[in-house]
């Protein structure tokens, strides 16, 4: 398997300092499952490329000791050429100092975001290419992939489960290596060694600063820990605790969960978007917008001429700006979509004048005594014609592998279906709205849907598009 890292930064040969591998030298390293080789296919001041070739010994794999080296049943497999946990181990062993972010000779370079390119000739991608983008794009990478074809003598080539992958980004080298270290085994959905409790600590250490807010955090954690439920639940709880933004982890490992289906969060966003599409709204507020996943969907809809995202966390808004690439947006695009720092329990005249508002999994993060202030601000003062609000259904929590009273440790409360309908009716009567309550996600005959949605319409106002 081959990993090539290239840069076009000024004095590009300084990549050798960062990797602690001299561009003019070929180096070989012994690994538990074969050998690693580092060499530079090109090394000029304009462009420099470092290649890490991992030569996996298939015979050694079949004779390896269980728990230390992956034991294959057959000599012929894809392990010698497909990027996997073998490559992660090689990165840690051969590029360990760079992975840790150390460069004593050029410390300022190690801390700098650099133009970096990655080439991986063969990565597993199953039958769906999108998973690669789901893993790398939220981290700021441009992803290019090409599905590889398999062909035998006299046969028509057919698409395989493998792709070639190219990543480009301006990123610290240490961060790039860390992302590859964690995500390559996730992409392969396998590991060549035993996964125990120490893997949780490793994941938290390597994922610090990015994994806790990654949109695919739950899926990454499950795959990295080989779906060992006690380890997964422990890791998710610790990641949620580290997430200062309050991002909801409301999809614990569920019985019969199938990753081929859209996640609950995707279904929720789809339901909210559909409700907004069905109105005459031209301007939309996303209250508690987080890192901008709904904003991304709203921006793709020509119907919405003005879009505003609001969040109480400036850190989260910075991530949303990166996700939406506002730094490279045109003036017209910036005028159409803006981000505001603000609380939802205080009047804010900047929020007035919008036709519709979305409040997606937000109210449960408020103290219940603050709900009246929230209601007065949104329904009484801001007063958009349509408000679409979602929140978890507490009854559904009984269906998770480890039932809990609240779905997330940052939730202050969660409503049952009856409690939610009661609140919706009270708010509608108090502020002059009519409302419809709808399920979100698959409904259980006893416990109902995982999430519930209310669509409020201001009485006497046009709502249909």
pLDDT digits (tens, 9 = 90+) for 71-85: 444 555 677 788 888
Query: pLDDT-based confidence at 253, cuts 50/70/90?
Result: very low
User: Which is nearest to 385 in space by CA: 344, 345, 435?
Assistant: 435
Q: Which of 364, 375, 459 is nearest to 409 (CA)?
A: 364
For residue 187, pLDDT beyond 70 = yes
Segment holding 152, helix H or strand E = none
Q: What is the pLDDT of residue 305?
A: 96
Q: What phi and psi, each to the nearest 5 degrees, are found at residue 350?
A: -65, -20
DSSP 289-342: -TTSHHHHHHHT-TT-SEEEEEES-HHHHHHHHHHHTGGG--HHHHHHEEEEE-
| pLDDT one-digit tens code per residue, 226-237 | 888 889 998 888
Q: What is the mean pLDDT of residues 386-399?
A: 94
Dihedral angle, C-alpha 224, 225, 230, 232, nearest 10 °: 0
What is the C-alpha separation between 100 and 176, in angstroms, rounded? Answer: 11
Residues contacting residue 161 through CB under 8 Å, at least 6 positions apart: 124, 125, 126, 127
Residue 95 predicted with pLDDT over 90: yes
- State how far the alpha carbon of 442 is from the alpha carbons of 56, 130, 340, 379, 438, in Å: 45, 23, 34, 29, 12
Which residues are CB-contacts of 426 (< 8 A; sequence separation ≥ 6)?
Answer: none
Q: Tell me if residue 75 falls in helix, strand or coil.
A: coil
Of 174, 90, 165, the closest CA to residue 135 belongs to 165
The 158-171 sheet, strands edge to edge: 27-31, 34-43, 48-56, 2-7, 114-124, 158-171, 142-150
Average pLDDT, the chain: 85
Q: Could you give the angle at the alpha carbon of 118 between the alpha carbons of 32 and 322, nearest 5°?
A: 120
pLDDT of 349 higher than 50:
yes
In the prediction, which pLDDT does 257 show?
39
Write out the two tokens for 184: 């390559």
Convert 227-253 to b/e letters by CB count within 10 Å (16 or more is b).
ebeebbbbbbebbbeebebbbbbbbbb
Indicate if the pLDDT at residue 254 is higher than 80.
no
Q: What is the pTM of this model?
A: 0.53
The answer on pLDDT for 386 being more than 80 is yes
Domains of the chain: 2-194 (3.30.1610.20), 264-458 (3.40.50.150)
């Amino acid at each position: 398997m081959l990993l090539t890292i290239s840069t076009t930064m000024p004095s590009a040969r300084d990549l050798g300092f960062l990797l602690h591998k001299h561009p003019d030298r070929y180096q070989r390293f012994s690994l538990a499952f074969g050998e690693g080789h580092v060499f530079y296919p090109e090394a000029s001041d304009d462009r420099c490329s470092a290649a890490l070739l991992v030569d996996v010994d298939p015979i050694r794999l079949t004779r390896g000791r269980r728990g230390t080296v992956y034991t294959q049943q057959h000599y012929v497999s894809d392990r010698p050429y497909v990027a996997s946990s073998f490559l992660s181990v090689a990165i840690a062993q051969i590029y360990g100092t760079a992975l840790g972010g150390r460069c004593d000779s050029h410390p300022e370079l190690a801390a700098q975001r650099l133009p970096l390119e990655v080439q991986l000739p063969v990565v597993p991608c199953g039958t769906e290419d999108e998973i690669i983008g789901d893993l790398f794009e939220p981290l700021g990478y441009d992803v290019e992939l090409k599905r590889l074809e398999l062909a035998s003598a006299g046969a028509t080539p057919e698409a395989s489960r493998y792709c070639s992958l190219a990543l480009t980004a301006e990123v610290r080298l240490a961060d790039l290596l860390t992302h590859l270290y964690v995500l390559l085994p996730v992409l392969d959905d396998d590991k060549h060694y035993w996964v125990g409790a120490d893997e949780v600590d490793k994941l938290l250490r390597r994922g610090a600063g990015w994994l806790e807010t990654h949109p695919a955090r739950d899926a990454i954690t499950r795959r990295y820990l080989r779906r060992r439920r006690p380890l997964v639940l422990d890791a998710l709880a610790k990641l949620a605790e580290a997430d200062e933004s309050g991002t909801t982890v409301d999809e614990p490992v569920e019985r019969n969960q199938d990753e081929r289906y859209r996640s609950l969060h995707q279904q929720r966003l789809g339901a909210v978007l559909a409700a907004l599409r069905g109105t005459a709204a031209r301007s939309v507020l996303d209250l508690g917008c987080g890192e901008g996943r709904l904003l991304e969907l709203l921006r793709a809809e020509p119907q919405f001429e003005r879009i505003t995202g609001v969040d109480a966390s400036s850190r989260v808004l910075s991530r949303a700006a990166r996700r939406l690439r506002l730094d490279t947006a045109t003036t017209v695009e910036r005028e159409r979509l803006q981000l505001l720092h603000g609380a939802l329990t205080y009047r804010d005249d900047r929020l007035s004048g919008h036709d519709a508002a979305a409040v997606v999994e937000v109210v449960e993060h408020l103290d219940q005594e603050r709900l009246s202030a929230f209601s007065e601000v949104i329904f009484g003062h801001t007063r958009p014609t349509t408000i679409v609000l979602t929140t978890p259904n507490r009854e559904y929590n009984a269906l998770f592998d480890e039932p809990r009273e609240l779905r997330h440790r940052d939730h202050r409360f969660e409503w049952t279906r009856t409690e939610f309908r009661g609140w919706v009716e009270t708010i509608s009567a108090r502020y002059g709205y009519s409302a419809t309550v709808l399920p979100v996600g698959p409904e259980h005959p006893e416990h109902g849907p995982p999430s519930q949605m209310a669509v409020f319409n201001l009485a006497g106002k046009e709502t249909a598009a």
